[in-house]
């Protein structure tokens, strides 16, 4: 029985080790997908498609990140039904996995889809949830985006003056978020739209030009910038067409046409409709009919895509539920396995106790013989020492088994059983790789940098020191996020807090310049 238990546990540990190795491989697919999601969503989706079913088991602990990326890809592909459902799944798993930044981000997207697109006032619960989760992580940038949504609500309700007021009172703070100029860009986008609808074209063009000047800003995705520019072009064309300023309207329609691939569904519908109205005003009925047909075909295609997406998502949700059922069954199997092991160990202990009792009886019989007295005395003393050690060990094993039996968490129980097994069978530890000396990973560059930074700024915590080091050797925000298995927003938030702690704004110096002033080796010089 003892041999069978040994073999079973060895196989179990080997399988668990292999599964953990596979999970790390699948996690790398998620990290790679995030790198391409902004500019090459098709490549991003290809990486996610490499993760096999069942998803809930193969990337357990990273499901929120996975569905967040699926939602962003759907957004890029103008698949609004898929986008909404994927963000719902991302929010669900973000709460389970304690991924507050992801929960905040997808809650904002759910608010935008529910209120701005569907005009459902119940969407404000998502906005409040976004604020709650960003506050939990002290995500300053995320909270800035929440504030911008209130301005966008006023814009969508055509309260353009009120929307401008909410933006302008925070415009400088948005501009000062240097590590991510998205917030400044989005504020300029809304100001341009608001002043356009208010027919104040001087201010509209002033803010539009500032928006266009951010085209080469490395902190903004080019496709994201282009999508906001094209929306403003369509807005300009619409207002000029209402004023019957045909030439001005045509100018902005042509500008929008050059960015056609960056239009979302709403922009595309407006684009076709405006061209139809334009040709109607100049009396070109044939071209007007062409654009009406284009709009009809586009809407038909969107309906078909939404129907297909709904069917596909139903399959995903059904599969997800089946996987949850399977997970529950698996947990029950692990629980049953635990009790099998417990009873097996108890049986082993009973067997040892019975053997010990028989040995003790034999010793008592042997001691009665005078001829073998000296021999038995010597051996009896030796056996007594061994038996005492065995008694103590059995008591310890009993205590360990009792402590394991009261653990309700299956995962923790499994870990405790493994530890007990290691204690019983020391030779099983040979499956662990002890060849790596992690001290070799700490080189002179790290030591100098960490000593210098800790001496100058003991107020920084360990995670902030690590981020300073990666920034110093040349890593970008997105690279650090992938390397540390954190979200981009989390890294940006930490950079902001580091800047505040080091009082860089007061000294009018940015973080990278300050770190370079240490005079230590950088990435390029290593």
Query: 138 preceded by cis ω (within 30°)?
Result: no
What pLDDT shows up at residue 302? 66
Look at residue 312 in the predicted model and tell me its pLDDT: 55
Q: Supply the pLDDT for residue 355.
A: 79
pLDDT in tens, the chain (526 residues): 444 444 444 444 444 444 556 667 789 999 999 889 888 899 999 999 999 989 888 899 999 999 999 999 988 887 878 888 999 999 999 999 999 999 999 998 898 888 876 777 788 899 899 999 999 999 988 888 898 989 989 998 999 999 999 999 999 999 999 998 999 999 999 999 999 999 999 999 999 999 999 999 999 989 989 999 999 999 999 999 999 999 999 999 999 999 999 998 888 888 999 888 988 898 898 888 888 888 788 777 766 765 555 555 555 555 555 555 555 566 667 677 778 887 878 888 888 888 777 777 777 766 665 544 454 455 445 445 544 555 666 677 667 766 766 777 756 755 665 565 446 443 333 333 333 332 233 334 456 778 888 888 899 988 888 888 888 877 888 888 877 788 889 898 999 899 888 888 887 888 888 888 775 444 443 3
> DSSP assignment, residue 322?
H
The structure tokens 């399988």 sit at 15
Domain ranges of the chain: 26-135, 341-431, 438-525
User: Other CB atoms closer than 10 Å to residue 32's CB: what's the count?
Assistant: 17
Task: Count CB atoms within 10 A of the CB of residue 323.
Answer: 15
* Biggest distance spanned by C-alpha atoms of the chain: 131
The DSSP output letter for 77 is T
pLDDT for 234 equals 94
CATH architecture of structural domain 438-525: Orthogonal Bundle (1.10)
Separation between Cα atoms, residue 404 and residue 390, nearest integer Å: 21
CB atoms within 10 A of CB 326: 13
DSSP conformation letters of 138-171: T-HHHHHHHHHHHHHHHHHTT-HHHHHHHHHTTH
| pLDDT recorded at residue 523 | 42
pLDDT at residue 181, as a whole number: 93
Q: What is the pLDDT of residues 509-524, one digit of tens each?
A: 888 888 887 754 444 4
- Which of 254, 404, 257 minimizes the C-alpha distance to 334? 404
Dump pLDDT digits (tens) for 132-189.
Answer: 999 999 998 888 889 898 998 999 899 999 999 999 999 999 999 999 899 999 999 9
Give CA–CA dist 407/397, Å, rounded.
Answer: 16
| CA gap 294, 471 in Å, rounded | 49
Which of 186, 97, 98 shows the shortest CA–CA distance to 141? 186
pLDDT computed for residue 175 by the predictor:
92
Measure CA 517 to chain center. Answer: 33
502 with 514: CB under 8 angstroms?
yes
CA-CA distance, 254 to 256, in Å (whole number)? Answer: 5
For residues 472 and 521, is the Cβ–Cβ distance under 8 A?
no
Predicted confidence at residue 192, as pLDDT, reads 96
* Spacing of C-alpha 250 from chain mean position: 43
- CB count in 10 Å sphere of residue 190: 23
Alpha carbon 169 to chain centroid, angstroms: 32
Q: Are 173 and 144 in contact (CB under 8 A)?
A: yes
pLDDT at 12: 42
Residue of 28, 108, 40, 39 lying closest to 68 (CA atoms): 108
pLDDT for res 475: 81
Phi, psi of 456 (to 5 degrees): -80, -35
């Amino acid at each position: 029985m003892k041999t069978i238990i040994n073999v079973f546990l060895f196989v179990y540990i080997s399988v668990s080790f292999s599964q953990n190795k596979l999970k790390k491989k699948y996690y790398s697919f998620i990290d790679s997908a995030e790198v391409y999601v902004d500019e090459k969503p098709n490549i991003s989706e290809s990486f996610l498609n490499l993760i096999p079913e069942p998803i809930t088991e193969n990337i357990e602990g990273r499901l929120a990140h996975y569905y967040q990326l699926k939602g962003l890809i759907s957004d890029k592909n103008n698949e609004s039904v898929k986008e909404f459902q994927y963000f719902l799944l991302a929010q669900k798993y973000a709460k389970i996995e304690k991924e507050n930044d992801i929960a905040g981000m997808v809650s904002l997207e759910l608010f935008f889809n529910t209120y701005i697109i569907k005009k459902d006032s119940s969407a404000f619960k998502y906005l409040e949830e976004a604020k709650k989760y960003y506050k939990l992580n002290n995500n300053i940038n995320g909270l800035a985006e929440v504030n911008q949504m209130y301005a966008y609500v006023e814009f969508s309700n055509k309260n353009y003056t009120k929307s401008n007021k909410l933006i302008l009172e925070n415009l400088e703070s948005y501009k000062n978020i240097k590590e991510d100029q998205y917030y400044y860009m989005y504020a300029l986008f809304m100001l341009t739209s608001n002043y356009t609808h208010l027919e104040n074209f001087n201010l509209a063009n002033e803010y539009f030009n500032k928006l266009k000047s951010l085209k080469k800003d490395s902190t903004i995705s080019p496709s994201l910038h282009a999508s906001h520019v094209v929306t403003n072009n369509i807005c300009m064309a619409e207002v000029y067409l209402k004023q019957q300023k045909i030439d001005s309207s045509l100018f902005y329609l042509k500008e929008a046409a050059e960015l056609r691939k960056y239009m979302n569904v709403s922009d595309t519908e407006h684009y076709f409709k405006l061209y139809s109205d334009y040709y109607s005003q100049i009396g070109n009925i044939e071209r007007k009919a062409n654009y009406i047909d284009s709009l009809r075909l586009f809407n038909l295609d969107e309906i078909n895509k939404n129907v297909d997406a709904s069917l596909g998502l139903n399959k995903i949700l059904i599969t997800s539920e089946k996987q949850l059922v399977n997970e529950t069954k698996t947990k029950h199997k692990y629980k049953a396995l635990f009790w099998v092991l417990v009873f097996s160990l108890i049986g082993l202990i009973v067997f040892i106790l019975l053997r010990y009792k028989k040995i003790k009886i034999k010793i008592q019989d042997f001691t009665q013989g005078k001829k073998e007295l000296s021999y038995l005395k010597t051996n009896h003393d030796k056996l007594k020492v061994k038996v005492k050690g065995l008694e103590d060990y059995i008591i310890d094993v009993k205590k360990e088994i009792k402590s394991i039996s009261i653990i309700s968490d299956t995962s923790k129980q499994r870990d405790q059983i493994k530890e007990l097994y290691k204690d019983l069978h020391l030779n099983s530890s040979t499956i662990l790789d002890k060849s790596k000396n992690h001290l070799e990973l700490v080189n002179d560059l790290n030591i100098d940098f960490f000593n210098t930074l800790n001496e100058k700024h003991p107020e920084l915590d360990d995670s902030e020191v690590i981020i300073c080091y990666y920034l110093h050797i040349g890593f970008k925000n997105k690279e650090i996020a992938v390397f540390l298995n954190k979200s981009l927003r989390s890294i940006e938030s930490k950079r902001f807090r580091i800047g505040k702690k080091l009082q860089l704004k007061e000294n009018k110096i940015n973080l990278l310049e300050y770190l370079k002033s240490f005079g230590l080796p950088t990435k390029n010089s290593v």
